[in-house]
Structure 1
Amino acid sequence: MSVQTPPRLLDLAGQSLLRDQALAVAALEHLPAELFPPLFMQAFFGRHRETLTAMVHAWPFACLPLGGLMQMPQRGTLQATFDGLDILLAQKVRPRRWKLQVLDLRNTNQCFWSMWSGARTQVHPRTRPAAARGSGMRQPAAPLEVLVDLCLSSRIRDRFFPDLIRWAKQREGLLHLCCQTLKIFEVPIKAIKALALVRLDCIQEVEVNCPWSLSALGVFAPYLGQMSNVRRLSLSHIHMPASEAEEWELRISQFTSQFLWLPHLRKLYLESPAFLTGRLDQMLRCLQTCLETLSITNCVLTELDLMHLSLCPNLGQLKDLDLSGVCLTGFNPEPLRALLEDVAATLQHLDLVYCGIRDSHVKAIVPVLSRCRQLRALSLSGNLLSLAALEELLRHTAGLRSLSHELYPPPLESYSAQGVLEPGRLAQVRDALTGILRDLGQPRTIWLSTSPCPRCGQKVFYDVEPILFSCNNPA
């Protein structure tokens, strides 16, 4: 027979108070600040909307971390909160009891609420009620800060973000809509006008995944330039319609020039940036900081683009480099070698998946890879390499103590003359690689990725276990 923990007297008192809405609202004027959070939680989960509205109006802390109570705000609860805030925002001067300065709608600050859900009743130092002022002091109302991780998407069924934008627009000037994370998924470019309501200099992370045209990107560009504190930028699937050919150069310049105003950018992800082919130097010249992460994937770059990458002074401290899906087959391997040479001291992750890399590229870069002492992950799957090239890779990287994730393609010797992966050939190759690892004498695990086939692109349904070598006395 299980013994249930009896409810606390505080919880029972809150339940009793909430049964009488008029009494609950009247009691807020004299309720100690320490009792607000537990009562608020009971009103929130019990859907006492009128009481919630009154509690927002009387909230005794500088911040109301509402987002910490829910994965996604419920429409009714959010409206009750807005109603309480409207009472405050309608007043031109602050009442003495008004302490609320920030409404936090992010899914954070759960610690604030968990503190009040237990036996402890002390006030958290970051949410301590503001010091009482003299009885006659009334100050002009400052704009309320609303913190939110903003997601603009036509795929989201919940009406939270549209409701929030609509509410903020109706009260423009009375509040500051601040977000650190901005995500834009599959929305028409006209929806971007909502960013005019946002404090753009608060944004630190931006992810844009929209099938926009270059002209749409040109509309977004001025907003991006105002995000002066952005640290991470991800942009995907911008296309170049032939109907806009006359505007291509202008729109590309509009976008690349915005990097002049991003002095804190550290991580840059560009997925399928076809518009940068042959023009990569325009963006690189505008970089104001040394990047930690550069990902340019699934696009066509010219050999001159790769040369500009190797010469860019803002890439010398890269920790993560991803050029997956950029075909390097016909390129001189020297620019790639030079780029890796520049980042050898800091590089931790290198992804060259499906780059059309051949043995000649491997021969050029392995001496540099052997000096990448911080390297943790190396991915070269999807390329056409011989067993001899893989052996050279394994031997040159044997001294990299931090390298723990290695993903390689099955060597050419694993395939038939028709380009079909043959299990028997692959088994022989695995034995050969195991022998190489044994000769090197260090614990090591490597993976061979076989799906899809790098030659024909067809799916190969063949389960491959990692090639593992371990020893009791590593060198």
Structure 2
Amino acid sequence: MSVHNPPRHVILAAVSLWRDEALAISSLEYLSMELYPPLFMAAFSGRNRETLKAMVQAWPFVRLPLVGKCKMWVVDLRNTGQNFTSLWSGASSYGWVEQRKSSIHLWCKKLKIVSMPMDNIMKVLSMVQLDYIQEVQKQEQHHIVQITSQFLKLSHFQDLHLASPSFPEGCLDQMLRCLKSPLDSLSRTKCWFTESDLTHLSQSPDISQLKSLDLSGVTMTDFRPELLQVLLEKNAATIQELDFDVCGIMDSQLEAFLPALSHCSRLRSFSLCGNLLSTAAMEKLLRHTAVLPCLRQECYPAPQETYRPRGVLLEARLAQLRAQLLEILRDLGCPRIIWISLSPCPRCGEDVCHHMEPIIYSYTA
């Protein structure tokens, strides 16, 4: 949630309208969206009932219903589709809402916290109806323990995305124990990740109905192979997207979770780019995934035989292996499109290459 005060000209324009109630009401149809919050605050503070009544009807984000005799205002930001927080942030807005905590309720689905002092974070969390938050994005690891303690109140929390390279060790287990309902989406990319973390994931009762799992950039080379197998088995009935790019996965780990992978009947997208697989392991992968009826996007690494010992690409060998993989697809008899990624990319040097031509098999191929 970014913190900045509204531009001075916006505040002055809102105050000018507030002073002329008839003009304010007649201008609502043509009013810039950024003028609505400061005008609303000014009208509410000044008890301009007619202006407030007109604003409720013309509110561009969502209605602000007045509930009965208790005079409670509900600011519902759940379905706006707007970056409303940038308009309502800043010390003056915090103070305005804090003074009216008994009569103002703030609702939102997504909360994004970027470089804020802990005091401000806790103020925001105390103002928002936490039970309605479905997604929280925290870009830094500072104060993650204190923020995690607030998750105990989140019964609708669905998506967890962690992307800090220095995310504190041991915090994942603490966060999982705070959850009150199963997650839909879990993304932990380019983070420090231990075998203990993966064990906690596979054992957590709230990591059993995932639709999306992204562990790209998490090195799992030395992890016990059965951990990914258990994790996939638990989520086989619901998982739709899997991203294990650049995880250091080797043949033994792949072969351990292939049986579980073949039971993920709703899987639509699967990416394994940047991992260390042989041609033999790739063939097993293609045969196990051939039974998945919904799988449409498949991105796999070029087999290790494509490279010299120091990682130099053998282009003739790559062409030969692509032809070999196409023959495997023909043998399986199911129309498929698979993407083979070089690592690193010869064009841009990234760990995953997006410049390769796909291998396409159709009945007429």
- 8 Å Cα contact 2:243-2:271 kept in structure 1: yes
What is the correspondence of 1:55-94 to structure 2 with a 5 Å cutoff? 55=22, 73=34, 79-80=38-39, 82-88=41-47
Structure 1's 462 and 287: CA in aligned 2 closer, same or farther, altered over 3 A? closer
Q: Partner of 1:269 in structure 2?
A: 161
Structure 1's 280 and 423: CA in aligned 2 closer, same or farther, altered over 3 A? same
What is the distance in 2 between the residues matched to 1:347 and 1:99? 46
Q: Partner of 1:172 in structure 2?
A: 100
Q: Are 1:323 and 2:215 matched, yes or no?
A: yes
What is the distance in 1 between the residues matched to 2:94 and 2:171? 39
Query: Relative CO higher for 1 or 2, CA cutoff 8 Å, sep ≥ 6?
Result: 2
Q: Partner of 2:10 in structure 1?
A: none
Q: Partner of 1:187 in structure 2?
A: 116
What is the correspondence of 1:303-322 to structure 2 with a 5 Å cutoff? 303-322=195-214
What is the correspondence of 1:130-169 to structure 2 with a 5 Å cutoff? 142-148=71-77, 161-162=89-90, 165=93, 168-169=96-97
Secondary structure of the residue that 2:162 maps to in structure 1? strand
Listed one character per residue, the Cα deviations across residues 270-327 of structure 1 (whole Å, up to 9, x for unaligned) are 2227445245333323322122212222122222222222121221211111111211
Structure 1 position 236, deviation (Å): 2.7
What is the distance in 2 between the residues matched to 1:252 and 1:185? 12
Structure 1 position 333, deviation (Å): 0.6
What is the distance in 1 between the residues matched to 2:28 and 2:306? 58
Q: What amino acid maps onto 1:231 in structure 2?
A: Q
Q: Partner of 2:8 in structure 1?
A: none
What is the correspondence of 1:99-114 to structure 2 with a 5 Å cutoff? 99=53, 102=56, 107=61
Q: Are 1:235 and 2:127 matched, yes or no?
A: no
After TM superposition, the score normalised by the length of structure 1 is: 0.61
After TM superposition, the score normalised by the length of structure 2 is: 0.78
- 8 Å Cα contact 2:112-2:138 kept in structure 1: no
Extract unaligned runs of 5+ from structure 1: 1-46, 110-125, 131-138, 202-226, 240-250
Q: Are 1:406 and 2:298 matched, yes or no?
A: yes
Secondary structure of the residue that 2:138 maps to in structure 1? strand
Q: Are 1:335 and 2:227 matched, yes or no?
A: yes
What percentage of residue pairs aligned between the two structures are identical? 40
Of stretches 357-366 and 443-452 in structure 1, the one that deviates more from structure 2 is: 443-452
Structure 1's 81 and 282: CA in aligned 2 closer, same or farther, altered over 3 A? closer
Structure 1's 84 and 396: CA in aligned 2 closer, same or farther, altered over 3 A? same
- 8 Å Cα contact 1:297-1:325 kept in structure 2: yes
What is the distance in 2 between the residues matched to 1:322 and 1:300? 14
- 8 Å Cα contact 1:146-1:176 kept in structure 2: yes
Considering only CA atoms, is the larger Rg found in Structure 1 or Structure 2? 1
What is the distance in 1 between the residues matched to 2:307 and 2:297? 24
Structure 1 position 400, deviation (Å): 0.8
Root-mean-square deviation over aligned CA pairs: 4.0
Extract unaligned runs of 5+ from structure 2: 1-13
Structure 1 position 167, deviation (Å): 7.5
- 8 Å Cα contact 1:278-1:301 kept in structure 2: no
